[in-house]
Amino acid sequence: MTGSVTFSMIKPDAIQDGQVGQIIAMIEARGFCLKALELTQLTLARAGQFYAMHKERPFYEQLCKYMASSPIIAMVLTKPNAVADFRALIGATDPAEAAPGTIRKRFGKSIEGNAIHGSDADETALIETRFFFPKLSL
């Protein structure tokens, strides 16, 4: 399934603001199929593990606190060319720089509270999928 799977999280801000249905509708309209979905809350330690590659970045601690502050929705999505197509759908990290029609442009509030996560490579997608759904067979 490599190449056809990506991992996503709807972030706390988008859930608090009641935007889950609209975001999932945009994802499905772009041709992605849901393979797994869970509403869950990360502990600070698990948020730290998930974003470990950003440990040295100045925003790391605040990002982990934010991601553990209230529930997130973890999703595994399938589609040919899933990683790149999903990154195109969500848009640039900073919603202010995201292209029109992208999820982050529409729902992001700040560079941190940017509504949604998307894996950055096939290998990362598998690691992130296993982090949330260790028993899922792909």
Return d(Cα 125, Cα 7) in angstroms, integer. Answer: 5
Residue 54 vs 130, nearer CB to ligand IDP: 54
Q: Which stretch binds ligand IDP (CB under 6 A): 26-34, 40-48, 110-118, 130-138?
A: 110-118
Query: Are β-strands 33-40 and 5-10 bridged in parallel, bridged antiparallel, or unpaired?
Result: unpaired
Q: Would you say 43 and 64 are in contact if contact means Cβ atoms under 8 Å apart?
A: no
63 binds, among Mg ion, ligand IDP, none (CB under 5 to 8 A by kind): ligand IDP
Decide: is 85 part of the binding site for ligand IDP (CB under 6 A): no
Give the shortest CB-121-to-Mg ion separation in angstroms.
9
Residue 54 vs 55, nearer CB to ligand IDP: 54
Q: Would you say 6 and 77 are in contact if contact means Cβ atoms under 8 Å apart?
A: yes
